[in-house]
Amino acid sequence: MTSVIETGTSELSRAHCEMLIRMASEYDPKSLGSREQRGYVKLFYDGSDLTPERLAEIQPAYGRFQRVDAIDPLLYAREDFKLEPPEGMPLMIAFLGPSASGKDSILDLVEGHYPSGYVVNTTTRPLREGSQSDLARYEFVSKEDFRHRREREEFAESLPLGVQGEHFFGTSIESIDRAFASPSHRLSVWRGDLVGLTQLKPWMTKNYPQVAFVTFFVLPQMPLGALCVRIEQKRGLEQAHRWRFPKAVWEIHAAGEMVDVIVLNPPDPTEAPRDAAAATVAAFRAID
């Protein structure tokens, strides 16, 4: 008998689930091998919440994270990383997470409680209707303009077509310079992507060695199948299955080896990630 899970807008058979997990492995076949793929298929169907403890059974790197109860129980830090201010250094926070994890909603709430600057991203996707944060965090350009600017090497990092669907995303050198030229804050936030992180982090090390670079990852505390439902509901079935959910699985797996701090985002009856935002504010205060 074929296992079927209700995913809100579709019935996802076990074969289809396995296909989506295999698609996730295309981002990094070496780390997402057959053992890990079987682990994520099992995780999809067993209903366990995504937590560092549960993920450590599939991705051992998650075993290096320890809960930071002294600051907030929703925070986990890598065992060799301390949530404390780097003396005399400005900060860039890379704020990452899979699709529909609540990154933007968390940052929207954080803005009202903690002043920080933003590194503005450049994208060719359209402005999301009713999103005020889009206007503050993105520069919207045509694909032709983006290609020309990339040819002129104006980006510190840029994502090719296919990584984020049919649109380009990047971070201009100018936007980074502008963020650190402001005297009003010591901490700047880059709301980014793990693929872009592999480009931006070495660029920052080379060009801004005086800036402490800290990576945060929002981990939605829900079953993997529920995350698939959430992505379908927010971004549509076609996007969810073509690239958003497979990429989310890869990002969740890769984050264990790539990030410094994990922010658990538990469900909230108001649909606003209040607890995760409070944990993020506490973390920002601890390191700023």
**Pairing of the two strands 91-96 and 187-191:** parallel
Q: For residue 45, give the amino acid letter.
A: Y
Report how far residue 285's alpha carbon sits from residue 161's, in angstroms, rounded to the nearest whole number: 36
- Can you tell me the mean pLDDT for 101-117? 89
Q: Is 111 left (phi over 0), alpha (psi -120 to 50) or beta?
A: alpha
**Domains along the sequence of the chain with CATH:** 4-287 (3.40.50.300)
Q: For residue 244, give the amino acid letter.
A: R
Label residue 2 by pLDDT band (50, 70, 90). very low
Q: Which residue has the tokens 């995303």?
A: 169
Q: Which residue has the tokens 């492995």?
A: 25
Residue 268 has pLDDT above 80, yes or no: yes
Report how far residue 83's alpha carbon sits from residue 122's, in angstroms, rounded to the nearest whole number: 30
Q: Which residues contact 217 (CB under 8 A, 6 or more apart)?
A: 96, 97, 255, 258, 259, 261, 262, 263
Over residues 50-99, the pLDDT tens digits come to: 999 999 999 999 999 999 999 999 999 999 999 998 887 899 999 999 99
pLDDT of residue 1: 28
Cβ atoms of 96 and 192 within 8 Å: the answer is: yes
pLDDT of residue 219: 98
214 sits in which H/E element:
strand 212-220
Mean pLDDT of the chain: 91
Q: Which residue has the tokens 């994520």?
A: 40
Length of the chain: 288
Report how far residue 195's alpha carbon sits from residue 87's, in angstroms, rounded to the nearest whole number: 29
Q: Which residues contact 186 (CB under 8 A, 6 or more apart)?
A: 90, 91, 288
pLDDT of residue 11: 60
Phi, psi of 52 (to 5 degrees): -55, -35
| This model's pTM is above 0.75 | yes
What does the block give as tokens for 5?
Answer: 């899970």
